[in-house]
Structure 1
Amino acid sequence: MILLEPGAIALIMIAIFFFAILIRIPVAFALVMSVLPFMLLDSRFNLELLVQRMYAGIDSFVLLAVPFFIFAASLMTLTGVTDRLFDFARSIVGGARGGLGVVNVASSIGFSGMSGSSTADVSGAGSILIPQMIKRGYSREYCAAVTASSAVISSIIPPSIQLIVWGSLTNTSIGRLFLGAIIPGLLVGVALMFVAWIVAVRAGYPPEARFNWGVFWKTFVGALPAFGIIAIVFIGFRFGVVTATEAAVTAVIYAMLVAALMYRSLTLKNLLQSLATTASLTGVALLALAAASVIGYLLAIYNIPSMFGSLLSDIPGWAVLAVIVMIFLFIGCFLDPLPAMAIMIPVFAPFVLAAGIDPVQYGVVAIMTLAVGLVTPPVGICLLIASQIAEVNLIRVIKPALPFLFAILFIIALCVTFPQLVLWLPSLGA
């Protein structure tokens, strides 16, 4: 047994992890390295247990929804379904000053209802929107900033993969989490649209064509089959018809039928491309989640959460949640949401319970906060992907991304202060 204080053990884990990140070791392997000394030196553990705990971390029927939702989103992108959503969004809000920036956000709202993945959003929708925005005179930095920031919405609005994993790890109703995330996700979208409009007015970016009812109805009819996936998820959960995994499988079948029979764009090539994309994204996400689950296990064994007891005791629930938000903001700068939540859920669970915070509010606010890390260096995977698509240096995108980040943080603060923004819809479904 290792005779160290919980604080010392936590510091050693953190130091090893950050050293591994600095020498460019992938996050999943860096997480394993941070626990390896304890698994080898503590007589209670061994390498066999390490493998068992990693497997246990992803041995969940609910997590099967992750690859299926990614597969459905990839199919939608490669078969041109997202093009119809983009055209529909442009017919509604494209006439505003700098309309393509607003359309970018609106498209993310629609795409998020199908994909559940911010990286899928920024990769799929971004590859369509960014080149068009650049051709119309938008700066490359602004294009990357608005695309990366709006992709955060896909981590919030159902069927969010992060919410599915959160529900799996905390035994919180995924249906209630989905309902609770709708209003905050839409508020983030409205806030980002407002910022995009303000920036466009100041920069003098051009509007698109004026609103036209004929174009609106034509694009609406074209996009209507794509909205079927959103209906499957929301109606299925609202009336208890399907579980998260069943909804994901149904979404894949529906996407294939729409692409093959309605749009006639499904080919063997894009089917294989979608499978390859799904395997790659799922492997990265779940390997990191498996590695992080070992850290969560060791944190519990070494009783590290007890260190926070004196810090978070005797303060109101909203203040506890505010402290957790600040910690998650910092952690999100270095870790993807899935491993971050696997590590921190066992740390904060006792204090959230003691403070009387509703688990749905806690889950939605935590996911929103961790999603901010997708747009903040040094990890900032969405910012990195958008910068690559726009062919601009990542550092130059940070400044134009700040107004969008502040807008997201403002909505998070509202959800912390006014719990009913999260809890109203779940209370109707109770």
Structure 2
Amino acid sequence: MSTDKNLRLDMEIVHIKDIRFGAKTEVRSGILFINKQEMVEAIADPFFSSIDIDLARPGESVRIIPVKDVVEPRVKLDGKGAGSSFPGFAGAYEGCGEGRLKVFKGCAIVTTGTIVGVQEGVIDMKGTCADYCYYSKLNNIVVVGNCPDGTEPHAHEAACRLLGLHAANYVAEAAMDADADAYETYQLTPVDPARKLPKAGVIYMAMAQGLIHDNYIYGVNAGKTNPVYMNPNEIFDGAIVNGCCVIASDKNTTWDHQNNPLLKELYKHHGVDLEFAGCIVTPTHTVLHDKERNSHAAVRMARSLGWDVAAVVEEGAGNPDADLMMMIRSLEKAGIKTVGMLSACCGEEGTTDSTPEADACINTGTDADYMPVHLEKMDRIIGDAKQIRVLSGGSLDGYNADGSVDVNMVAIMCSMNQMGMTRMYSVVL
């Protein structure tokens, strides 16, 4: 572990080209082998009536529904935080954001099973859906956790969240001896003040609305937190975990937090044409006075950190639009130039909420009802295809007799990801 004051995270990346079941969980020649029975036993939880493991590879005729979360297997290799990632759930608090981290790139844990709420989504491994869903390009280890009828939704979500994290930890720890194919180092090294580079930071909005619309920060529901500074390395290292059932298209999964492309892009510019000054993670509550408290607290923190420019990244839509606009307005009034990142989910007019200060926004697409998508029949279903009838973006008659489904963009997992993961964008005509 680095003795530097600045957190240094060294990623040892193992590229996974294929996944198969085998006698031992390990990586050989780029293939991740999974001992299915051992994995089921390792993640066993009496909360579930049954747990199963299935595999879904890019290009296969497979539909996964309803999808709850996606997690990348990672494991710490040294220091006091060695072992599991996800501090507060499975990993240690000490050492988060620094040390050696083994990363299994090209594969993911996907959790599915009995539906928790209507705002879960669909992943197809080929066809039209795969054009909009980046998880379709991953080798997915699908964990199916079914619950008895009448299970309380909050307990169900919590159990599914832990199931995915434990599955990711099992895979990463069992295969941790695999040789790395690539290395990446992340450290916010000091920048000479004489260069007068602009200080840039990210306002990281974390869902905290209750009703299973919550993210978790170091294992704590974001609704119980205040705005807090966070080194981007902490986010890469699992400090933020998805527990959120917002609409599937706009959801940030745990995988998204682990692989946030905006943070990686700002790292590329650090010390070149800007000074990356970290993140302020702020909860998005439903009540107006909480929104005001958080926006002003976050801005005071940004001013104290000397930020010159900021990017504000939204999750979800509707109620969080107010937080987004309040944050942009407060930052701009404080003299901090601000860019908003959001998708449109508000009909053809595109004005659920706005403010004159929001004059620089990046739109990652629109998932409104006028964007219907026909998803072809898949030969194999992991989960329950008929759940499309109750998912957001689906309909009672959306499941067709031939096995195809009709949805709008809302139902496709992370099709409008507001971190900038997708190829989607909007054009003003």
Q: TM-score w.r.t. structure 1 length?
A: 0.23
Q: TM-score w.r.t. structure 2 length?
A: 0.23
- Which has a greater percent of strand? 2
- Which has a greater percent of helix? 1
- Return the structure number with greater relative CO, CA threshold 8 A, min gap 6: 1
